[in-house]
């Protein structure tokens, strides 16, 4: 029988790659689609899977809609990727972030419990929960110290997932994913902002790129690799928590150098530091230890930062040449 899955956040970066992965494995894939006045399907179109997924109207903040989505999709696996996921915005919209990125997960867990507790559940947890880091390399045992309303909301969702696993014996897993990027990354995140800027500067469409704290360090991987870890978690005998990371950390400054040099430019000639992009509280450094995921899931990151950034710059050069919107 065909296995069915429901993805909340299917129109996002990870949702699109996960939908593609599950379709390739023969799943019937549904996605919860919140009402928006503008087109949000561009990623599904770029992967040429828009017509292959079943989109069900619904917002994770609305329990009744989530219940309907789970029933209509007949999902045996539910991946909760929906979030207000931009850290910077979470200071401007802390309560919306809490409703969507925090309570949204509780709605999905409740909907599963009420519909069929045998449904397997994945929660998109995040390295942002480590915030002010309490260990040099963060793993599943490292204490959390979130530094943004987004991180706090995600921590609630994380503990609710563990609580439902322990209280109701749900097959519920959390993936504590470190930053992962791709040509489908939203334009507001720093890697894509940089690769888009590099392409536009190279083609003479803009002169400078304004950034905030370029001394921050992140453990960046490729989103296409990371969605595979999500699927692997739900194929285990029991739900559990896993760090998914590359095990390398790099400054935003070095990432800029890689991106500009890919097209023969120097970042020092174009990057301008703008206080507007500094955050009220910063996560200075993230560095994950993915040993557990490697050991138990057989998962490993396969894409280097150089390969990732080159792929993103090339995609943005193509988009800029074709005059396509920045998406
Ligand atoms: P993303 O591109 O921002 O995608 C977020 C998705 O959530 C979009 O499809 C968005 O739809 C949807 N969404 C927003 N509000 C919603 C609502 N109220 N109801 C239903 N759907 C809603 O994020 P991503 O990079 O793919 O990340 C996927 C998940 O992993 C997120 O939960 C994120 O917080 C988490 N995560 C990401 C990373 C990373 O580095 N990428 C790392 C760790 C954890 P619209 O586009 O229509 O708003
Ligand atoms: N966005 C952005 N824009 N970030 C900048 C800029 C800028 O102009 N200049 C410097 N930065 C720094 C930020 O201050 C941060 O330290 C770092 O670049 C990365 O910022 P983002 O790319 O916005 O990602 P993030 O680390 O805050 O959050 C992402 O990763 C989390 C996992 O650790 C998001 O995808 C979250 O949803 C995810 O949970």
Which pLDDT score is estimated for 129? 98
- What mean pLDDT comes out for the span 93-109? 98
> Do 80 and 176 belong together in one domain?
yes
**Tokens in use for 262?**
């890919």
Which pLDDT score is estimated for 37? 86
Domain-located, residue 133: yes
Region of 33 on the Ramachandran plot (φ > 0 left; ψ -120 to 50 alpha; else beta): beta
- Please, which pLDDT band fits residue 325 given cuts at 50, 70 and 90? low
Domain-located, residue 267: yes
d(CA 105, CA 113): 12
Range of the domain at 39: 4-180+221-244
Which pLDDT score is estimated for 141? 98
Global model pTM greater than 0.75: yes
Active site residue 254: no
What is the bridge-based pairing of β-strands 120-126 and 77-80? Answer: parallel
- What mean pLDDT comes out for the span 111-115? 98
> Do 198 and 258 belong together in one domain?
yes
Domain-located, residue 197: yes
Domain-located, residue 295: no
> Do 204 and 153 belong together in one domain?
no
Domain-located, residue 296: no
Nearest to residue 215, comparing CAs of 290, 277, 128?
277
Q: Which of 11, 77, 79, 128 is catalytic?
A: 128
Percent of the chain with pLDDT over 70: 99
> Do 41 and 63 belong together in one domain?
yes
Q: Which helix (H) or strand (E) holds 211?
A: strand 209-211
Domain-located, residue 198: yes
d(CA 197, CA 87): 20
- What mean pLDDT comes out for the span 253-279? 98
Q: Answer yes or no: are the C-beta atoms of 152 and 158 closer than 8 Å.
A: no
Which pLDDT score is estimated for 121? 99
**Which residue's C-alpha comes closest to atom 28 of ligand 2?**
87
Which pLDDT score is estimated for 2? 84
Indicate whether residue 188 lines ligand 2 (CB < 6 A). Answer: yes
- Please, which pLDDT band fits residue 326 given cuts at 50, 70 and 90? low
Domain-located, residue 316: yes
**Which residue's C-alpha comes closest to atom 16 of ligand 2?**
216
d(CA 27, CA 225): 19
Is the confidence at residue 74, as pLDDT, over 70? yes
**How buried is residue 277: exposed, middle or buried, by Cβ count under 10 Å (0-12/13-18/19+)?**
middle
> Do 116 and 211 belong together in one domain?
no
Give me the CATH number covering residue 203: 3.90.25.10
Q: At what angle do helices 13-24 and 223-234 cross, to 10 degrees?
A: 60
> Do 9 and 88 belong together in one domain?
yes
Q: Which of 150, 164, 226, 242 is catalytic?
A: 150
Residue-wise pLDDT for 11-57, tens only, equals 999 999 999 999 999 999 999 999 998 889 999 999 999 999 999 99
Percent of the chain with pLDDT over 90: 97
Residue-wise pLDDT for 122-138, tens only, equals 999 999 999 999 999 99
For the CA of 252, the nearest atom of ligand 2? 18
**Inter-CA distances, 224 with 15, 78, 227, 228, 300, Å:** 10, 19, 6, 7, 12
> Do 23 and 160 belong together in one domain?
yes
> Do 225 and 91 belong together in one domain?
yes
- What mean pLDDT comes out for the span 294-320? 97
Q: Which of 8, 11, 97, 126 is catalytic?
A: 126
- What mean pLDDT comes out for the span 204-226? 98
d(CA 194, CA 255): 9
Q: At what angle do helices 190-202 and 252-262 cross, to 10 degrees?
A: 30
> Do 172 and 122 belong together in one domain?
yes
Give me the CATH number covering residue 20: 3.40.50.720
Cα torsion angle, 144, 148, 151, 153, sign: positive
Residue-wise pLDDT for 188-200, tens only, equals 999 999 999 999 9
**Inter-CA distances, 126 with 19, 118, 159, 180, 199, Å:** 20, 25, 12, 11, 29
Structurally, how many domains does the chain consist of?
A: 2
**SS3 call for 200:** helix
> Do 173 and 118 belong together in one domain?
yes
> Do 74 and 206 belong together in one domain?
no
Q: Which residues line ligand 1 (CB under 6 A)?
A: 8-9, 11-15, 32, 34, 36, 40, 59-61, 81-85, 100, 124, 126, 177, 179-180, 186
Active site residue 17: no
Domain-located, residue 259: yes
**SS3 call for 271:** strand
d(CA 214, CA 273): 8
- What mean pLDDT comes out for the span 208-234? 98
> Do 64 and 34 belong together in one domain?
yes
Under 8 Å CB-to-CB from 259, ≥6 apart: which residues? 191, 194, 195, 198, 267, 309, 312, 313
């Amino acid at each position: 029988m065909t296995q069915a899955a429901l993805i909340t956040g299917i129109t996002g970066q990870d949702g699109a790659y996960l939908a593609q992965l599950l379709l390739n494995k023969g799943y019937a894939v549904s996605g919860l689609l919140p009402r928006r006045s503008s087109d949000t399907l561009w990623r599904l179109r770029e992967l040429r899977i828009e017509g292959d997924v079943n989109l069900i109207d619904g917002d994770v903040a609305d329990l009744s809609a989530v219940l309907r989505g789970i029933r209509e999709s007949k999902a045996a696996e539910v991946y909760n990727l929906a979030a207000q996921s931009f850290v910077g915005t979470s200071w401007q919209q802390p309560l919306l972030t809490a409703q969507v990125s925090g309570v949204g997960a509780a709605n999905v867990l409740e909907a599963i419990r009420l519909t069929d507790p045998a449904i397997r559940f994945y929660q998109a947890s995040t390295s942002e929960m480590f915030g002010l880091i309490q260990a040099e390399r963060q793993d599943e045992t490292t204490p959390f110290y979130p530094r943004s309303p987004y991180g706090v909301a995600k921590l609630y969702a994380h503990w609710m997932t563990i609580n439902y696993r322990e209280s109701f014996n749900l097959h519920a897993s959390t993936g504590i994913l470190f930053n992962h990027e791709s040509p489908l990354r939203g334009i507001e995140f720093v890697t894509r902002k940089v690769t888009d800027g590099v392409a536009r500067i190279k083609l003479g469409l803009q002169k400078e790129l304004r950034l905030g704290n370029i001394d921050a360090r992140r453990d960046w991987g490729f989103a296409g690799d990371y969605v595979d870890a999500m699927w692997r978690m739900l194929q285990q005998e029991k739900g559990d928590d896993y760090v998914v990371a590359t095990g390398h950390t790099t400054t935003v400054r070095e990432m800029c150098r890689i991106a500009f040099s890919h097209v023969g430019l120097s970042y020092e000639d174009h990057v301008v530091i703008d206080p507007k992009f500094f955050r009220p509280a910063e996560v200075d450094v993230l560095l994950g230890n993915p040993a557990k995921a490697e050991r138990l899931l057989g998962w490993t990151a396969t894409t280097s930062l150089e390969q990732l950034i080159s792929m993103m710059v090339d995609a943005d050069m193509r988009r800029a040449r074709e005059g396509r919107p920045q998406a």
